[in-house]
Amino acid sequence: MMPQRNTSHSRKPPYLFIALAVIFLAAGIVLGVRALNSWNAYTVAAAITPTPSPTVRPIAVTAAPDLTTYTPAPTATPGALSTGSSGDMVRQMQQRLKDLGFLNGSVDGQFGSGTKKAVVAFQKQHGLDADGIAGSKTLAVLYSDQAASYVPTPTPHVTNVTAGDIPLLVNKWNKLPDDFEPAELVTIKDLAGDLFLYEDSKFQGVREAVEALIRMIQAAKADGITPWKIGGAYRTIKDQQRIFDNRVSRYLSEHEGATRSQAVSNTRLTVADPGCSEHHTGLAFDLNVPDQFFVDTAQYIWLKQHCWDYGFIMRYTDDKEDLTGIIGEEWHIRYVGVQHAKNIQSLDYCLEEYVDYLKNRH
Protein backbone atom coordinates (compact mmCIF):
# COMPACT_ATOMS: atom_id res chain seq x y z
CA MET A 1 0.00 0.00 0.00
CA MET A 2 2.62 2.42 1.00
CA PRO A 3 4.78 2.02 -2.06
CA GLN A 4 1.69 2.48 -4.29
CA ARG A 5 0.76 5.66 -2.62
CA ASN A 6 4.23 6.84 -3.04
CA THR A 7 4.25 6.10 -6.73
CA SER A 8 0.90 7.80 -7.27
CA HIS A 9 2.27 10.91 -5.56
CA SER A 10 5.49 10.76 -7.47
CA ARG A 11 3.73 11.92 -10.63
CA LYS A 12 1.84 14.86 -9.14
CA PRO A 13 4.52 16.65 -7.10
CA PRO A 14 6.32 18.40 -9.96
CA TYR A 15 3.30 20.71 -10.53
CA LEU A 16 2.82 21.37 -6.87
CA PHE A 17 6.52 21.91 -6.39
CA ILE A 18 6.74 24.36 -9.30
CA ALA A 19 3.72 26.28 -8.04
CA LEU A 20 5.16 26.45 -4.54
CA ALA A 21 8.54 27.42 -5.89
CA VAL A 22 7.04 30.26 -7.95
CA ILE A 23 5.10 31.59 -4.93
CA PHE A 24 8.15 31.23 -2.76
CA LEU A 25 10.41 32.96 -5.25
CA ALA A 26 7.92 35.83 -5.74
CA ALA A 27 7.63 36.27 -1.98
CA GLY A 28 11.37 36.10 -1.71
CA ILE A 29 11.88 38.79 -4.33
CA VAL A 30 9.28 41.08 -2.74
CA LEU A 31 10.77 40.63 0.73
CA GLY A 32 14.27 40.86 -0.62
CA VAL A 33 13.71 44.07 -2.54
CA ARG A 34 11.89 45.53 0.41
CA ALA A 35 14.66 44.55 2.80
CA LEU A 36 17.26 45.89 0.42
CA ASN A 37 15.45 49.20 0.03
CA SER A 38 14.99 49.49 3.75
CA TRP A 39 18.58 48.77 4.35
CA ASN A 40 19.73 51.27 1.76
CA ALA A 41 17.52 53.92 3.31
CA TYR A 42 18.94 53.06 6.67
CA THR A 43 22.53 53.12 5.59
CA VAL A 44 22.10 56.46 3.89
CA ALA A 45 20.51 57.78 7.06
CA ALA A 46 23.18 56.36 9.29
CA ALA A 47 26.00 56.86 6.83
CA ILE A 48 27.28 53.46 7.61
CA THR A 49 30.15 51.78 5.87
CA PRO A 50 30.57 49.02 5.03
CA THR A 51 27.17 48.08 3.66
CA PRO A 52 25.96 44.57 4.50
CA SER A 53 26.31 41.85 1.94
CA PRO A 54 23.20 42.13 -0.28
CA THR A 55 23.36 38.46 -1.33
CA VAL A 56 22.24 37.28 2.09
CA ARG A 57 19.27 39.54 2.68
CA PRO A 58 17.15 39.09 -0.51
CA ILE A 59 16.68 35.36 -0.01
CA ALA A 60 15.94 35.62 3.68
CA VAL A 61 12.57 34.05 4.35
CA THR A 62 11.96 35.74 7.67
CA ALA A 63 11.03 39.36 7.07
CA ALA A 64 13.75 41.89 7.82
CA PRO A 65 12.84 44.48 10.46
CA ASP A 66 11.29 47.55 8.95
CA LEU A 67 14.28 49.83 9.06
CA THR A 68 12.68 52.62 7.04
CA THR A 69 11.00 53.97 10.14
CA TYR A 70 13.82 53.13 12.49
CA THR A 71 15.72 56.06 13.95
CA PRO A 72 18.76 54.77 15.79
CA ALA A 73 19.19 56.04 19.33
CA PRO A 74 22.28 58.20 19.57
CA THR A 75 23.67 55.98 22.32
CA ALA A 76 23.33 52.92 20.14
CA THR A 77 24.89 54.33 16.98
CA PRO A 78 26.10 51.34 15.02
CA GLY A 79 28.80 53.30 13.22
CA ALA A 80 30.93 56.35 13.81
CA LEU A 81 30.44 59.51 11.80
CA SER A 82 33.60 60.91 10.34
CA THR A 83 34.96 62.90 7.41
CA GLY A 84 33.18 61.71 4.28
CA SER A 85 30.02 60.53 6.06
CA SER A 86 26.76 61.97 4.84
CA GLY A 87 23.05 61.74 5.42
CA ASP A 88 20.44 62.46 8.05
CA MET A 89 22.57 61.35 10.98
CA VAL A 90 25.22 63.87 9.94
CA ARG A 91 22.58 66.55 9.43
CA GLN A 92 21.12 65.84 12.87
CA MET A 93 24.57 66.02 14.47
CA GLN A 94 25.42 69.25 12.62
CA GLN A 95 22.17 70.84 13.83
CA ARG A 96 22.98 69.90 17.41
CA LEU A 97 26.56 71.24 17.07
CA LYS A 98 25.17 74.43 15.58
CA ASP A 99 22.60 74.85 18.36
CA LEU A 100 25.41 74.53 20.90
CA GLY A 101 27.55 77.06 19.04
CA PHE A 102 30.29 74.69 17.87
CA LEU A 103 29.42 74.75 14.16
CA ASN A 104 29.46 77.93 12.11
CA GLY A 105 28.96 76.35 8.69
CA SER A 106 25.81 75.05 7.06
CA VAL A 107 23.76 72.02 8.13
CA ASP A 108 24.05 70.13 4.86
CA GLY A 109 24.43 66.53 5.92
CA GLN A 110 27.99 66.40 4.58
CA PHE A 111 30.73 65.65 7.11
CA GLY A 112 33.50 67.93 5.84
CA SER A 113 36.40 69.78 7.45
CA GLY A 114 34.14 72.38 9.09
CA THR A 115 32.10 69.65 10.75
CA LYS A 116 35.26 67.90 11.86
CA LYS A 117 36.53 71.12 13.43
CA ALA A 118 33.25 71.50 15.31
CA VAL A 119 33.41 67.89 16.54
CA VAL A 120 37.01 68.38 17.72
CA ALA A 121 36.05 71.58 19.57
CA PHE A 122 33.11 69.78 21.19
CA GLN A 123 35.28 66.83 22.19
CA LYS A 124 38.00 69.06 23.65
CA GLN A 125 35.56 71.05 25.72
CA HIS A 126 33.94 67.86 27.05
CA GLY A 127 37.10 65.97 27.93
CA LEU A 128 36.67 63.43 25.11
CA ASP A 129 39.40 62.17 22.79
CA ALA A 130 39.63 65.02 20.29
CA ASP A 131 39.92 62.82 17.20
CA GLY A 132 37.18 64.53 15.17
CA ILE A 133 35.29 61.24 14.80
CA ALA A 134 31.79 61.22 16.24
CA GLY A 135 31.65 57.71 17.70
CA SER A 136 29.03 56.40 20.10
CA LYS A 137 30.63 58.07 23.12
CA THR A 138 30.88 61.50 21.52
CA LEU A 139 27.32 61.29 20.17
CA ALA A 140 26.00 60.13 23.54
CA VAL A 141 27.50 63.19 25.23
CA LEU A 142 26.43 65.46 22.36
CA TYR A 143 22.76 64.50 22.69
CA SER A 144 22.79 64.39 26.48
CA ASP A 145 21.91 67.10 28.97
CA GLN A 146 25.60 67.38 29.83
CA ALA A 147 26.40 68.83 26.43
CA ALA A 148 27.51 72.38 27.12
CA SER A 149 27.47 75.34 24.79
CA TYR A 150 30.66 76.41 23.12
CA VAL A 151 32.98 78.44 25.33
CA PRO A 152 35.52 80.29 23.20
CA THR A 153 39.07 80.15 24.52
CA PRO A 154 40.72 83.57 24.35
CA THR A 155 43.41 83.93 21.73
CA PRO A 156 46.57 84.87 23.59
CA HIS A 157 48.54 87.96 22.67
CA VAL A 158 51.54 86.27 21.19
CA THR A 159 54.23 88.87 21.40
CA ASN A 160 57.82 88.93 20.41
CA VAL A 161 58.99 90.28 23.74
CA THR A 162 62.63 90.54 22.84
CA ALA A 163 62.01 92.83 19.89
CA GLY A 164 61.88 96.61 20.15
CA ASP A 165 64.17 99.39 21.25
CA ILE A 166 62.91 99.56 24.83
CA PRO A 167 62.92 96.46 27.05
CA LEU A 168 59.51 95.26 28.18
CA LEU A 169 58.74 96.68 31.61
CA VAL A 170 56.46 94.76 33.96
CA ASN A 171 55.84 95.81 37.55
CA LYS A 172 52.95 96.69 39.82
CA TRP A 173 52.32 99.85 37.79
CA ASN A 174 52.76 98.18 34.40
CA LYS A 175 50.61 95.10 34.04
CA LEU A 176 50.58 92.70 31.14
CA PRO A 177 47.22 91.72 29.60
CA ASP A 178 45.75 88.60 31.23
CA ASP A 179 45.99 86.64 28.01
CA PHE A 180 49.53 87.75 27.22
CA GLU A 181 51.67 84.93 25.92
CA PRO A 182 55.26 85.39 24.80
CA ALA A 183 56.27 84.01 21.41
CA GLU A 184 58.67 81.10 21.10
CA LEU A 185 58.35 79.55 24.53
CA VAL A 186 60.59 76.53 24.97
CA THR A 187 60.93 74.01 27.78
CA ILE A 188 64.25 74.73 29.43
CA LYS A 189 65.05 71.11 30.18
CA ASP A 190 64.60 70.20 26.50
CA LEU A 191 67.48 72.52 25.62
CA ALA A 192 69.62 72.43 28.75
CA GLY A 193 69.25 68.83 29.95
CA ASP A 194 71.12 68.26 33.20
CA LEU A 195 72.99 71.58 33.10
CA PHE A 196 70.51 72.63 35.79
CA LEU A 197 68.56 71.14 38.62
CA TYR A 198 64.90 72.02 38.19
CA GLU A 199 62.26 72.78 40.75
CA ASP A 200 59.87 71.93 37.93
CA SER A 201 61.09 70.06 34.84
CA LYS A 202 58.34 71.72 32.80
CA PHE A 203 59.72 75.25 33.31
CA GLN A 204 59.59 77.33 30.15
CA GLY A 205 61.14 80.54 28.87
CA VAL A 206 61.49 82.52 25.64
CA ARG A 207 63.97 80.73 23.38
CA GLU A 208 66.44 83.63 23.03
CA ALA A 209 66.56 84.09 26.81
CA VAL A 210 66.85 80.38 27.52
CA GLU A 211 69.71 80.04 25.04
CA ALA A 212 71.53 82.96 26.70
CA LEU A 213 70.93 81.40 30.11
CA ILE A 214 72.43 78.13 28.93
CA ARG A 215 75.53 79.86 27.52
CA MET A 216 75.96 81.74 30.79
CA ILE A 217 75.69 78.73 33.07
CA GLN A 218 77.97 76.67 30.81
CA ALA A 219 80.58 79.43 31.30
CA ALA A 220 80.01 79.35 35.07
CA LYS A 221 80.43 75.61 35.07
CA ALA A 222 83.67 75.98 33.11
CA ASP A 223 84.83 78.31 35.90
CA GLY A 224 84.01 75.53 38.38
CA ILE A 225 80.87 77.22 39.69
CA THR A 226 78.16 74.57 40.07
CA PRO A 227 75.41 73.41 40.80
CA TRP A 228 72.59 75.69 39.64
CA LYS A 229 68.95 75.16 40.25
CA ILE A 230 66.12 76.89 38.39
CA GLY A 231 63.49 77.85 40.93
CA GLY A 232 61.23 79.92 38.68
CA ALA A 233 60.72 80.72 35.01
CA TYR A 234 57.73 81.59 32.79
CA ARG A 235 54.53 81.95 34.79
CA THR A 236 51.01 82.40 33.46
CA ILE A 237 48.44 84.52 35.30
CA LYS A 238 47.00 81.28 36.67
CA ASP A 239 50.41 80.25 38.06
CA GLN A 240 50.85 83.70 39.56
CA GLN A 241 47.46 83.56 41.25
CA ARG A 242 48.18 80.11 42.67
CA ILE A 243 51.56 81.20 44.05
CA PHE A 244 50.10 84.37 45.52
CA ASP A 245 47.20 82.54 47.19
CA ASN A 246 49.51 79.85 48.58
CA ARG A 247 51.75 82.50 50.11
CA VAL A 248 48.82 84.29 51.71
CA SER A 249 47.53 81.02 53.20
CA ARG A 250 50.99 80.13 54.46
CA TYR A 251 51.32 83.50 56.17
CA LEU A 252 47.93 83.09 57.82
CA SER A 253 48.79 79.61 59.09
CA GLU A 254 52.17 80.75 60.43
CA HIS A 255 50.89 83.96 62.08
CA GLU A 256 48.09 83.28 64.48
CA GLY A 257 45.67 86.18 64.73
CA ALA A 258 46.89 87.83 61.53
CA THR A 259 44.22 89.32 59.31
CA ARG A 260 43.88 88.52 55.66
CA SER A 261 44.89 92.03 54.63
CA GLN A 262 48.04 91.73 56.74
CA ALA A 263 48.83 88.46 54.99
CA VAL A 264 48.24 90.03 51.57
CA SER A 265 50.44 93.05 52.37
CA ASN A 266 53.20 90.79 53.58
CA THR A 267 52.93 88.56 50.51
CA ARG A 268 53.19 91.60 48.24
CA LEU A 269 56.69 92.31 49.59
CA THR A 270 58.06 89.29 47.77
CA VAL A 271 55.38 88.15 45.34
CA ALA A 272 53.99 90.33 42.59
CA ASP A 273 50.23 90.68 42.27
CA PRO A 274 48.89 88.34 39.58
CA GLY A 275 49.38 90.11 36.25
CA CYS A 276 52.35 92.11 37.54
CA SER A 277 54.94 89.37 37.61
CA GLU A 278 57.96 89.74 35.40
CA HIS A 279 57.97 85.95 35.10
CA HIS A 280 54.99 86.39 32.78
CA THR A 281 57.37 87.72 30.10
CA GLY A 282 59.23 84.40 29.81
CA LEU A 283 62.44 86.44 30.15
CA ALA A 284 62.94 86.13 33.92
CA PHE A 285 64.47 83.27 35.87
CA ASP A 286 65.09 82.53 39.52
CA LEU A 287 68.43 80.82 40.08
CA ASN A 288 69.37 79.21 43.34
CA VAL A 289 71.59 76.67 45.00
CA PRO A 290 69.99 73.75 46.84
CA ASP A 291 69.89 74.18 50.63
CA GLN A 292 71.79 77.46 50.68
CA PHE A 293 70.87 81.10 50.94
CA PHE A 294 71.75 82.34 47.48
CA VAL A 295 73.55 85.52 48.57
CA ASP A 296 76.04 83.41 50.53
CA THR A 297 77.09 81.31 47.54
CA ALA A 298 79.90 81.45 44.98
CA GLN A 299 77.15 81.19 42.37
CA TYR A 300 75.76 84.58 43.41
CA ILE A 301 79.18 86.26 43.26
CA TRP A 302 79.84 84.79 39.82
CA LEU A 303 76.40 85.77 38.54
CA LYS A 304 76.68 89.36 39.77
CA GLN A 305 79.97 89.69 37.95
CA HIS A 306 79.11 87.99 34.64
CA CYS A 307 75.36 88.07 33.98
CA TRP A 308 75.61 91.36 32.02
CA ASP A 309 77.85 89.76 29.41
CA TYR A 310 75.07 87.30 28.56
CA GLY A 311 72.28 89.88 28.39
CA PHE A 312 70.92 89.47 31.93
CA ILE A 313 70.41 92.05 34.66
CA MET A 314 70.04 91.67 38.41
CA ARG A 315 66.48 92.89 38.41
CA TYR A 316 65.73 93.56 42.09
CA THR A 317 68.25 95.01 44.50
CA ASP A 318 67.59 96.39 47.97
CA ASP A 319 68.78 99.91 47.07
CA LYS A 320 66.18 100.22 44.26
CA GLU A 321 63.23 98.79 46.17
CA ASP A 322 61.32 102.08 46.12
CA LEU A 323 61.57 102.16 42.32
CA THR A 324 60.93 98.49 41.54
CA GLY A 325 58.36 97.88 44.25
CA ILE A 326 60.08 94.59 45.10
CA ILE A 327 62.61 93.96 47.87
CA GLY A 328 66.05 92.62 46.98
CA GLU A 329 65.82 89.33 45.08
CA GLU A 330 69.39 88.50 44.17
CA TRP A 331 68.35 85.22 42.58
CA HIS A 332 66.01 86.83 40.07
CA ILE A 333 67.59 87.68 36.71
CA ARG A 334 65.94 89.22 33.68
CA TYR A 335 67.00 88.94 30.06
CA VAL A 336 67.16 92.27 28.18
CA GLY A 337 69.85 91.49 25.60
CA VAL A 338 73.58 92.18 25.87
CA GLN A 339 73.56 95.86 24.85
CA HIS A 340 70.83 96.92 27.27
CA ALA A 341 72.34 94.80 30.04
CA LYS A 342 75.74 96.46 29.65
CA ASN A 343 74.15 99.92 29.58
CA ILE A 344 72.17 99.15 32.72
CA GLN A 345 75.30 97.90 34.46
CA SER A 346 77.37 100.97 33.61
CA LEU A 347 74.56 103.43 34.43
CA ASP A 348 73.79 101.54 37.65
CA TYR A 349 70.09 101.83 36.90
CA CYS A 350 67.23 99.51 37.67
CA LEU A 351 65.00 98.66 34.71
CA GLU A 352 62.42 101.30 35.68
CA GLU A 353 65.09 104.03 35.57
CA TYR A 354 66.55 102.70 32.36
CA VAL A 355 63.21 102.55 30.53
CA ASP A 356 62.50 106.15 31.66
CA TYR A 357 65.92 107.17 30.46
CA LEU A 358 65.36 105.58 27.02
CA LYS A 359 61.89 107.09 26.66
CA ASN A 360 63.19 110.57 27.45
CA ARG A 361 65.93 110.18 24.90
CA HIS A 362 63.56 109.13 22.10
User: Residue 85 or 277: which CB sits closer to Zn ion?
Assistant: 277
Strand order in the sheet with 284-288: 197-198, 229-232, 284-288, 329-335, 312-316
Query: In 3-state terms, what secondary structure has residue 163?
Result: coil
CA distance linking residue 123 with residue 147, whole number of Å:
10
Helix (H) or strand (E) holding 5: helix 2-11
Radius of gyration of the chain (CA): 36
Identify whether the C-beta of residue 354 lies closer than 8 Å to the C-beta of residue 343.
yes
Least distance in angstroms from the C-beta of 310 to Zn ion? 17
User: Residue 294 or 308: which CB sits closer to Zn ion?
Assistant: 294
User: Residue 246 or 259: which CB sits closer to Zn ion?
Assistant: 246
**Binding residues among 252-291 for Zn ion as defined by CB under 5 A:** 286
109: left (phi over 0), alpha (psi -120 to 50) or beta: left
Size of the site for Zn ion (CB under 5 A): 3
Least distance in angstroms from the C-beta of 233 to Zn ion? 9
User: Residue 286 or 330: which CB sits closer to Zn ion?
Assistant: 286
Least distance in angstroms from the C-beta of 222 to Zn ion? 25
Site string for Zn ion, 76-95 (x = CB under 5 A): --------------------
Identify whether the C-beta of residue 203 lies closer than 8 Å to the C-beta of residue 233.
yes
User: Residue 48 or 212: which CB sits closer to Zn ion?
Assistant: 212
Least distance in angstroms from the C-beta of 326 to Zn ion? 9
Least distance in angstroms from the C-beta of 240 to Zn ion? 11
Least distance in angstroms from the C-beta of 96 to Zn ion? 48
**Binding residues among 283-342 for Zn ion as defined by CB under 5 A:** 286, 332
**Binding residues among 203-242 for Zn ion as defined by CB under 5 A:** 232
CA distance linking residue 243 with residue 275, whole number of Å:
12
Identify whether the C-beta of residue 122 lies closer than 8 Å to the C-beta of residue 102.
yes
Residue closest to Zn ion, measured at CB:
332
Which residues, including other chains, have CB under 8 Å from residue 298's CB and lie 6 or more apart? Answer: 225
Least distance in angstroms from the C-beta of 332 to Zn ion? 4
Closest among 53, 50, 142, 58 to 95, alpha carbons compared: 142
Least distance in angstroms from the C-beta of 284 to Zn ion? 6
How many contiguous H segments (helices) and E segments (strands) does the chain have? 13, 9
Strand segments (E) across the chain: 157-159, 180-182, 185-187, 197-198, 204-206, 229-232, 284-288, 312-316, 329-335
User: Residue 92 or 281: which CB sits closer to Zn ion?
Assistant: 281
Closest among 305, 288, 286 to 297, alpha carbons compared: 288
User: Residue 116 or 332: which CB sits closer to Zn ion?
Assistant: 332
Least distance in angstroms from the C-beta of 288 to Zn ion? 10
165: amino acid identity, one letter? D
User: Residue 181 or 286: which CB sits closer to Zn ion?
Assistant: 286
User: Residue 232 or 311: which CB sits closer to Zn ion?
Assistant: 232
Binding site for Zn ion (CB under 5 A): 232, 286, 332
